[in-house]
Amino acid sequence: MALQVHLLACAFGLGSWVAVNGLWVELPLIVNALPEGWELPSYLTVIIQLANLGPLLVTLMHKLRPGRLNERAVICSVLAIGIASCILLVFFWDKTTVVAGASRSTAFFIITFFLSLVDCTSSVTFLPFMMQLPAKYITTYFIGEGLSGFIPGVFALAQGVGMAKCVNSSHTSGNHSGEEVWLLQTQYLPPNFSTQVFFSFLAAMMCISLAAFVGLNRLPRTYELSTENLVPDTVGTVSSGLDNPGAETDGKKSEQGGEEKSKPLLAEPQDSISQLVFMYLLVVWVNALTNGLLPSVQTYSCMSYGNLAYHLSAALASVANPVACTIAMFFQNRSLMFLRFLTLLGTVFGGYNMAMAALSPCPLLRGSALGEAIIVLSWLLFTGTLSYVKVMVGVILRDRSHSALVWCGAAAQMGSLVGSVTMFPLVNVYRLFKSGDFCNTECPL
């Protein structure tokens, strides 16, 4: 019986952030088909931030109408919306409409909003439900939550990417001379399986999560649901598209054993307050980088090196995130000096990624295997180091007090929002970053 519950808890956790993580690792194939092109990630970061409306409404219901919200019905609705959205993506992800005279991926954006709404709302509904079970099953749930980022990344690696090749094509000159003009054009070879199959896989994972939820509801109810202090914590640590939920909820898990140690912040000595402010600023900075600033320009940073570089950067970063969080669970280093060093290191990698985006479509070492390897490794280390920092700061703050962890979540949301809102006009209004065709872009030596 215990093994069955562990399996159900893990499968239930799969549905937490699988949709947004899946969308992100599929972008290397999507950006070549949708009219927004390389600007597409900057739209997604803003859409994911808007989807935090879901957890906000759930929290307000808990505050204004305590005990009136049927969490089981909310979870069923959330998972059903997720399944329906994934199925709709299969058929409508590439459908466009004309808005203000330009072709736009309206269907894709609307469906992405609902998928983001599902994943963001899961942060404040799934965990309270799991509190009905013993703590050992909550740990298994967090493993499933981490797999919601790991499995889509591995599946995307198996999918491969449409390798680009340059081919000569001819067309008739427009000067009525009938002269044929030969030009190089970029053609993308098909991946191992289509985008529709990938979205069907995401829908299947959401179905597995719903089935696991139904199975958990059929278990004997011997534990009381306790959400008195849980919901404010979870809404504070809601994370968007590109952030790994396991990193934030790891701190929440540990908090349950340390709430009795909580002390008011005003009772802390002045030097501790300065350390606390530093950690909050660290959270804002790290989340601004990982959830807004860098994801918005990942296409510009990687696509100039080719589709393969972008594909590996997105998929391996998705895998690195839960791996880094798992490492943080077993190998904890709470030294602020060490966390400063890791943050600086991650910022250096992020700075290199941003610099290559600014140099697009002619970044350093373009067209060489070394350049591709460096950009993939830079994105991998950028994600891994800063994911570890986020987990460890959460662990430190949960040992300090209940309210400290709540403010940590607020700082994370603030950083994510500031990062995505800052980059959107730079990419889409001022167009500081330039896209280019893989075959036709001529770069100086």
Domains of the chain (ranges; CATH) run 1-162+192-222 (1.20.1250.20), 272-444 (1.20.1250)
Considering all CA atoms of the chain, what is the largest pairwise distance in Å, rounded to the nearest integer?
85
Per-10-residue mean pLDDT, the chain, length 445: 89 92 93 93 94 89 84 93 96 94 95 94 86 82 89 92 70 58 72 94 96 90 44 39 42 43 41 85 95 95 92 92 84 91 98 97 92 96 94 85 77 91 95 85 74
CB-based contact 322:150 (threshold 8 Å): yes
The amino acid sitting at 400 is R
Residue 180 pLDDT? 65
Distance CA 65, CA 189 (A): 55
Per this entry, what is the length of the chain? 445
Contact call for residues 382 and 342 (beta carbons, < 8 A)? no
Compute and round to an integer the Cα radius of gyration of the chain: 23
pTM for the full model? 0.83
Report d(CA 291, CA 298) in Å as an integer: 11
pLDDT of residue 404: 80
Residue 348 CA: distances (Å) to CA of 120, 126, 312, 342: 29, 36, 20, 10
pLDDT at 199: 97
CB contact at 8 A, 237 and 393: no
Q: How far apart are CA 422 and CA 241, in angstroms?
A: 17
Place of tokens 């958990």: 216
The C-alpha atoms of residue 355 and residue 91 are separated, in whole angstroms, by: 37
Distance CA 424, CA 260 (A): 43
